[in-house]
A and B are shown apart, each in its own frame.
Chain A
Amino acid sequence: MIFAKIAKILGSKRAIFFLALILLITSAAFAVTSSILLSVENTASGMLGESGNTIVIAQANSRAPFLGTLPLTLASSLGSVPGVQVVSPEVFAPSTLANQPVMVRGVNPGSFMELQRPTILEGSPLASNDTAQAMVGETLARQMNLHPGSQITIVGGVRATIAQFTVKSVFSTGTPLDNEVIVPLWAGEWLRGLSYSIVSIFRIEVATNDSPSHVALEVQQAVQNASAVAPGGGNQALVQPGLPFTSHLTAFAGLDIEASPDVSSAFFSKTVGLSQENILLISALVFVSMSVAIVCALQEAVFRSRNELGTLRTIGMSSRRLSWNLVLVATFLGFLASIAGLLLGWGFLTLVAEFSPVQIAFYAVDPRSAFLSASIYSVLMVTLASFAAAAISSLRFRQPLIVYEMTIPYLESDLGDVSE
């Protein structure tokens, strides 16, 4: 009852609309900021193809995990580590397709299909005897209107060469791989400018009953043991059997690798500061700046309602009850405004996705993909801020009531200490 009365008093003032507007914009801005940054971070951390039970082996001292080089012969050492189920050697080749940057991933079709298990939406999967066929992720296929049978000309980004493929299938994985072109391993090697038998990374699928972190340590140990063998200790039999040449990079001596379920996440955190903590820090900075406006707007709303609220106080409402109800009303308003702000934020993100799509390197980012978690943060933060701001504003009514000063808070606020 009192809650409704106070809500009605505050609602009758224009200042409450300012407050609602501020809360709405703050909520929308917080949700938009967090959503964009979280979705970028999600994309970046899954860029190499890591997942719950998939770990990545990359060259430790390379400038970036996807720029490293590892000998293909390492596959046999990795395959012998307990807990390793599938080893997929892969090559990253930054390239362009119709003047747009695309990431081309050279794979061994069998290992890739076994590890990734993509859903084939159209066409048939890549096979080991395909020479000029490619699979295209559904996001890229949608962007470039590609279907099975489409002819694509890929221009190397690192090495001056082109490769022409026929799209064999369109696949979906629900990961950043949906932005990539998947080609046979050797095609990735041409476009990347690598010799045959050299790859960028290995992806390893770990058995479900094994811990990925534990297997990653075992892998590190296995490679160290292999490195200790004399130069040339790699398994020469695995150097793309049948080719009339061998790679120079077949020995493990001095090989420095990193094996982890979070290789790309750690890389982006280290190089561009793209980590969950920093994202929340940036969002919090925005929020702190805006909290000043929330306090401002709420104080004004209370100030403009001082007469009505003062009247409630004089007809017998305790200061505690008045303050508490004021806090409740403001918190409830904050909650409602933050929910409405989410709608505004969603609309803005939809406009962004439609007219100015967010792209991180070769990967399209749908900022709405992280909207749910961003919304939870936003609603919590805005509601809490409203609560805190209301608590500060309600201090105005916490002074003891003196009978001969009916609107003492008002007078004190405007004229200073009137008791002197």
Chain B
Amino acid sequence: MLSIAVKMLLRHSERTAITILMLVPVVALLVSSNMVTSGYLQQATASVTLVQPSNSYIAYQTGSTSPSSSSFSYDAFVRIQASRVSDATPVLSFQSLVANGESTANSSVLATDMTAFIAARNSTVYGELAAAGSQVDAGAIIAKMLDIKVGDLVTVDAFSQTQTLTVVGILNSTDQSDTGLIVPLSSAWALWPQTTNRLSYVEFVSNDEGPISSISGNMTVIRDEGIDQIARSFDSQTAGLLTNWTYVLFALSAAAAIAAASRVVTEVSQEYNTIRALGAKLSTARALVFYELLIISGTSVLVGISAGIVSTSILGTLFKAIDGLPLTPSINPVQLLEVGVASFLLILGAGSISLAWLPRKISETGEAL
């Protein structure tokens, strides 16, 4: 049966070639898109694995909207410090109204272990570090905004209590602490008794996940650098976009497969009718057309895959040469096999559906029998 189908296809070689040529671009488009998307995804995934996340963390009370609004006892800091982390720095943060003469600004007070704070943030100190109860260091930005200089007296209004403090230094940490006033933790607890023994968050460094999971009981721990999250997110965005694109391509391929397979069946219907008229069984006639379809689908897929690989490689080289475009298609044999089998089944399936309609049509029109 297969040899008869081959002979019939060869007898109408021009028609067979045209049909195959119609199917080849569809398969080639699928292969080409698969190669380009694989290349992009491989690059994106490789970029994600190259990203080294930071080992700096912030722990604050679970349920708080932000680290600054969190509040927990100093004992929690002691537990964190004891859990194999390094450079643990306690921070108490609260809102305040800061005034220097006539100038005022809404700012925050950061109460901390001054030595640990300066070391962790690589701060530059202009003047001295606050030590006594009424001493304060001003962040570089708030100092600029309120024209604060070393030696100035500033008033700090927080928790309905106004305190007058002496600025003994200006700190440039190039972070958010530059917009606030920095005081020793003990000073803050003494000046604003509502804050006694309370902390907002703890900054620490940890090189392994063990301590993080032990801290995470009733504390939220966040990494203070999001590059790994950004990379992972970009990776998933790319994958999502390419998946949508693949859906569109499969819809196109399915439509093209239906059209082409239907044409194949229509064209061989004359031979089908002749065989039926000569007394062949319905199953024999159908099998012959099915074999023809099988050969056409197989050939189209093989040629399509080859055409897809060659055209993508050529286009990739051309794009790179002309635009400097980094189009790096990837040949993944397993994926190519999957695309090939999917295309083959798609064409064969569409043809089989058209084939199923043939006998009914013949009996209705009476063309063959």
B-binding residues in A (CB < 8 A): 14-15, 18-19, 21-22, 25-26, 28-29, 32-33, 36, 94-96, 99-101, 129, 131-132, 151-153, 155-164, 186-187, 189-190, 195-196, 240-245, 269-273, 278, 285-286, 288-290, 292-297, 299-300, 303-304, 348, 352, 356, 358-361, 414
B229–A292 contact, CB under 8 A? no
A29–B248 contact, CB under 8 A? yes
Cβ-neighbour of B260 out of A164, A293, A352 (below 8 A): A293
B25–A164 contact, CB under 8 A? no
**Complex Cα spacing A358 to B245, Å:** 11
Cβ-neighbour of A131 out of B106, B255, B319 (below 8 A): B106
* A271/B259 contact (C-beta < 8 A), A289-B25, A356-B240 known: no
**Complex Cα spacing A292 to B175, Å:** 61
A28: nearest residue on chain B (CB-CB)? B251
**Complex Cα spacing A194 to B169, Å:** 23
B256–A293 contact, CB under 8 A? yes
B29–A157 contact, CB under 8 A? no
**Complex Cα spacing A359 to B66, Å:** 26
B324–A151 contact, CB under 8 A? no
**Complex Cα spacing A55 to B126, Å:** 39
Chain A residues positioned under 8 Å from B180 (CB to CB): 131
Most A-side CB within 10 Å, residue of B54, B65, B226, B262: B226
Chain A residues positioned under 8 Å from B259 (CB to CB): 18-19, 22, 293-294, 296-297, 300
A161–B237 contact, CB under 8 A? no
**Complex Cα spacing A162 to B58, Å:** 9
A195: nearest residue on chain B (CB-CB)? B174
Chain B residues positioned under 8 Å from A294 (CB to CB): 259
A157–B323 contact, CB under 8 A? no
Chain A nearest CB, measured from B315 CB (Å)? 9
**Complex Cα spacing A100 to B226, Å:** 9
Chain B nearest CB, measured from A347 CB (Å)? 12
Which residues in window 206-255 of B have CB below 8 A to A? 222-227, 229-230, 233-234, 237, 240-241, 243-245, 248-249, 251-252, 254-255
Chain A residues positioned under 8 Å from B145 (CB to CB): 129, 131, 242
* A22/B176 contact (C-beta < 8 A), A95-B226, A242-B147 known: no
**B144 in contact (CB, < 8 A):** yes
**Complex Cα spacing A156 to B121, Å:** 14
Chain B nearest CB, measured from A113 CB (Å)? 18
**Complex Cα spacing A33 to B247, Å:** 11
A164–B67 contact, CB under 8 A? yes
**Complex Cα spacing A265 to B178, Å:** 36
**Complex Cα spacing A195 to B124, Å:** 12
Which residues in window 155-185 of B have CB below 8 A to A? 170, 172, 174-176, 178-180
Chain B residues positioned under 8 Å from A25 (CB to CB): 251-252, 254-255
A300–B144 contact, CB under 8 A? no
Chain A nearest CB, measured from B85 CB (Å)? 15
Chain B residues positioned under 8 Å from A19 (CB to CB): 259
Chain B residues positioned under 8 Å from A245 (CB to CB): 124, 126, 140, 172
**B109 in contact (CB, < 8 A):** no
Chain B residues positioned under 8 Å from A304 (CB to CB): 266
Cβ-neighbour of A157 out of B178, B226, B260 (below 8 A): B226
Chain B nearest CB, measured from A180 CB (Å)? 15
**Complex Cα spacing A269 to B327, Å:** 12
Cβ-neighbour of B65 out of A151, A242, A290 (below 8 A): A151
Chain B residues positioned under 8 Å from A348 (CB to CB): 248
Chain A nearest CB, measured from B206 CB (Å)? 13
B265: nearest residue on chain A (CB-CB)? A300
**Complex Cα spacing A294 to B21, Å:** 14
Cβ-neighbour of A300 out of B69, B143, B266 (below 8 A): B266
Chain B nearest CB, measured from A155 CB (Å)? 4
A293–B262 contact, CB under 8 A? no
Query: Can you list 19 pairs linking A and B with CB atoms under 8 Å apart?
Result: A26-B252, A95-B226, A101-B234, A131-B141, A156-B225, A160-B224, A164-B176, A186-B178, A186-B179, A243-B172, A245-B126, A290-B255, A292-B26, A292-B256, A293-B255, A295-B22, A296-B256, A304-B266, A359-B240
B266–A303 contact, CB under 8 A? yes
**B151 in contact (CB, < 8 A):** no
Chain B residues positioned under 8 Å from A289 (CB to CB): 25-26, 28-29, 252, 256
Which residues in window 299-319 of B have CB below 8 A to A? 319
Cβ-neighbour of B225 out of A28, A155, A190 (below 8 A): A155
* A131/B260 contact (C-beta < 8 A), A25-B255, A245-B172, A358-B241 known: no
B176–A155 contact, CB under 8 A? no
**B68 in contact (CB, < 8 A):** yes
B176–A190 contact, CB under 8 A? yes
Chain A residues positioned under 8 Å from B222 (CB to CB): 153, 155, 162
Chain B residues positioned under 8 Å from A100 (CB to CB): 233
**Complex Cα spacing A28 to B252, Å:** 9
Cβ-neighbour of A414 out of B65, B170, B270 (below 8 A): B270
**Complex Cα spacing A15 to B265, Å:** 12
| Leading 6 A-B pairs by shortest Cβ distance | A96-B226, A293-B256, A273-B325, A242-B144, A131-B179, A160-B225
Chain B residues positioned under 8 Å from A32 (CB to CB): 248
B170–A244 contact, CB under 8 A? yes
A244–B143 contact, CB under 8 A? yes
Chain A residues positioned under 8 Å from B195 (CB to CB): none
Chain A residues positioned under 8 Å from B199 (CB to CB): none
Chain B residues positioned under 8 Å from A18 (CB to CB): 258-259, 262
* A151/B144 contact (C-beta < 8 A), A101-B230, A162-B58 known: no
A152-B66, A196-B140 given; 15 more Cβ-contact pairs under 8 Å: A18-B259, A18-B262, A26-B255, A101-B230, A155-B226, A157-B226, A157-B227, A158-B225, A161-B225, A272-B325, A273-B319, A278-B323, A296-B259, A296-B260, A300-B266
